[in-house]
Amino acid sequence: MAKRKINIRKILVPGDGLTIVIILVGLLIAIFLPELAIRLIGVSVSILGAVALFLMISQRLKDYVGSIYTPTAKPPSFTVSEIRDKDSVRHVFENFESTFANDDPVKSEEMNQREFERAEEGFKIKKKGEEKKENIPPQPQIKIKAPVKNEITEDVVFSDDVSEIRIKSKGPKTDIPSDSSPQKKSTDQQIVPGFSPLDIDLNKEPLKKNEEQNTQEKQKVDSFQSTDVSEKPQIEIKSKPESLYESPEPSVQSSSDKSIPPNYKQINVDVTLSALIDNERVAGYEPKKEFEFFLLRVLKVVRSVTNTRTAAFFLVNHEKQQLILESIDSDIPDALTTRRKIPLKNDVISQIVLNVKPEILTEINTSAVSDLIPYYSRPVPVNSFIGVPVFYKNAVIGILCADSTIIEAYDAFTVGFLGHFTKLISALVESYTEKYELMQSSKALGAISLFRHYTSLKAPSMQSLTDAIIESASKIFDFTTIGVVIYDEKVNNWCIKGYKTKVEGRDLKIGSIIDLKNSLVGKVILSGKTVNETNLTENIIRVHPDEGKLISGFFAGVPLKSITDIYGALFIEGFELSGITAYDISILETMAENAGVSIEHVMMMEVLQSSALFDNTTGIMNSNAFNQRIVEEIAKSKDMKTNLTLCLFKIDKYSSFDPSSYQERNEQIFQHVMKITKASLKPYYILGKAKGGNYGVLLPGLNLTEANKWAEKLRKDVARTFLEIDSKKFNITISIGIAQSEPKDNIESLLNNAEKALKISSAKTNSISLFE
């Protein structure tokens, strides 16, 4: 730790000169004037002056304590240029970049080859594999030699990989009376591993005044042991004011009865565990939170080591020419600005970014503080300011800055000191970037997997794809509103097909038509390119004129397209001031590309199904082909003056095979009913799929009564048969509606009549209704 001292030149101010003069005058009166009464007055004046001076500087002593740092290496030699203006004095350091912009880390191989020696500590750490000069047994040993020539020497031999010994300190050699006893025991005694040094018996009672202290310290050590202490015992050698190991015979004393002087001065500092333990969890945080956590700790360290009132870190956005206040720690939070984005202007931090050089400001005009230092919202007294650029890949990505109320609080050594923190922040930025990219890649893969999962739950259709896009995107991104715009052939226009919002009163109707020319989502569709807007105003239409205002947020829209065509747009909105990141945009684009391919596939399937006669999933005529045959048979019956009857039927719904819950079970039931139905058909009867999920049988040549007999036989055949699924037997029933074609009927009227009869049967279940 740095030793503390008071810098008198910085504590005393010119106003204290008058008080010092008064003290000196009082002393002169008390010394040189002969009258006793006047001399007493002089003494009183001196005392009062001294008290007044003490009261004036006492508060300054609390606010400032100068520090003497003993650096392990000399600070870099900077070339400093001084620039004076009306607001401050600027000290610019020219060659900072060449020293602290090098990001090459020290290789681990080089670290392993280094040998650390601390002679004053009395031990040496050897690298692994180095040939040892002594044969060290597998268990840690402590050898204590008997005193020779009034000296005690302690040799501690251990291996890094085996021993659990920690040497806290070792005092210098101490003169101890020699042992002249004829009953001298062996010179070497070995301590069994696993015992504390305080338990060692050297045939001598320890000093009484150390007994209680040794016991207390042993209890403290034991209280911090882990649960596996019994497996790996730890032995600590801790020097005491008196030597632990003395000559075996206490009867022999030195010529003088003076006590042995202590080897060191011990100062006990009581620190609570709560000051050392941070309950805030770091592991598992997202990279952004983790970066902010460590960055704030860096600022706190800077403030605790230097005379700093406020420490801050700014990120630099060169593309938008902005400073982003990423983290700040201050004693005066009420004076800090609430702005997070600050444009690059003429303030000192902007000048550091543009000049790529550290700067120190002194003699700062208080009225110009808010203009020079942009993280203050109002003028506050600042006597010193320092700003150091942070480099990443040889480019300035941030500024580490601090200010103080102390005059000349920072110097060239402080620049070098903060320079090491800039390299630490640079490493944090690199770690954050790598983790963020890895997390975003995982997000992209998760988004695609979610999209494929949702599309697999339902039969592919335009609506199911829209729902899958919204559900998967909403689980990946933080949003307030998310939606999908797709072309609707029924209204021949671009419409909102999916919409989800977290804000009350901002719902847009599904099917609302989009104005392509005057909206941001229309710009996405027309250009086929991504649109990302953060500077939103009230006059900008994002999706629809009925949408709510979004002034301080962002809008991002990506086209739903394949290689051949554009099928719509996916848009997302939020209140985040920093907007959506470029990596998030790339994830949206990846999702949109997959969705565009899926939409194209669905459209192609619809075209193929419309041109095909039979449904691939059911093996019967699809609705288009079935309707075409109805038209043909109606025309034929009118020309041939024959009867024509249409039967519509559907499987009665029961909870045991509800399609929404038991999709596979429902498919087996459908195949079972179709098998019985096809067995009852004549070659010229026509089976097909009707609208609304119903199925129809066209019966040429049968009147209403004959068709009723055929339908009743079909209903009984289905009801009599049991279907076994998963060791369970199910009884299936159908409802049938029958309508006969009249000369005035067309396909619409015939289908409507049959549907009305079917509706009555479905309400009863397992029944037949006739339209008459």
Residue 631, pLDDT > 90, answer yes
Selection from 358, 348, 351 nearest residue 97 by Cα: 358
Q: What is the mean pLDDT of the chain?
A: 75
Residue 149, pLDDT > 50, answer no
689-720 per-position pLDDT tens digit: 888 889 999 999 999 999 999 999 999 999 99
Q: What is the DSSP letter of 614?
A: B
241-258 per-position pLDDT tens digit: 443 334 444 444 444 455
Confidence of residue 503 (pLDDT cuts 50, 70, 90): confident
Q: 502, 508 in Cβ contact below 8 A?
A: no
Residue 177, pLDDT > 90, answer no
C-alpha radius of gyration, the chain, whole number: 45
Q: Given CA atoms 11, 16, 17, 23 in this order, what sign does their dihedral have?
A: negative
Which is more confidently placed, 442 or 629?
A: 629
Residue 107, pLDDT > 80, answer no
Residue 764, pLDDT > 80, answer yes
Residue 231, pLDDT > 80, answer no
Which is more confidently placed, 120 or 558?
A: 558
Place of tokens 């790339």: 586
What average pLDDT does range 403-432 have in this prediction? 89
Residue 7, pLDDT > 80, answer no
Burial class (CB in 10 A: 0-12, 13-18, 19+), 760: middle
Per-residue pLDDT, 145: 42
Residues 6+ apart with CB under 8 A from 449: none
Residue 738: strand pairing partners: 647, 770
Per-residue pLDDT, 218: 46
CA distance 750 to 738: 10
Percentage above 90 pLDDT, the chain: 27
SS3 695: strand
Residue 731: strand pairing partners: 722
Domains observed in the chain: 3-68 (no CATH), 123-237 (no CATH), 283-436 (3.30.450.40), 458-610 (3.30.450.40), 613-771 (3.30.70.270)
What average pLDDT does range 338-354 have in this prediction? 91
Per-residue pLDDT, 126: 42
Residue 435, pLDDT > 90, answer no
Helix (H) or strand (E) holding 210: helix 208-223
* Most trustworthy range by pLDDT among 168-172, 195-199, 358-362, 605-609: 358-362
CA distance 53 to 703: 123
Place of tokens 């001292």: 5
What average pLDDT does range 668-686 have in this prediction? 90
Per-residue pLDDT, 133: 42
Selection from 727, 393, 446 nearest residue 594 by Cα: 446
What average pLDDT does range 476-499 have in this prediction? 87
Give the pairing type, strands 166-167 and 236-237: parallel
Query: 101-105, 181-185, 465-469, 593-597 — which is least confidently predicted?
Result: 181-185
Residue 227, pLDDT > 70, answer no
Percentage above 70 pLDDT, the chain: 70
Per-residue pLDDT, 207: 41
What CA–CA distances, in Å, run from 542 to 93, 467, 561, 572?
Answer: 49, 21, 20, 10
In the chain, the amino acid numbered 519 is S
Per-residue pLDDT, 26: 86
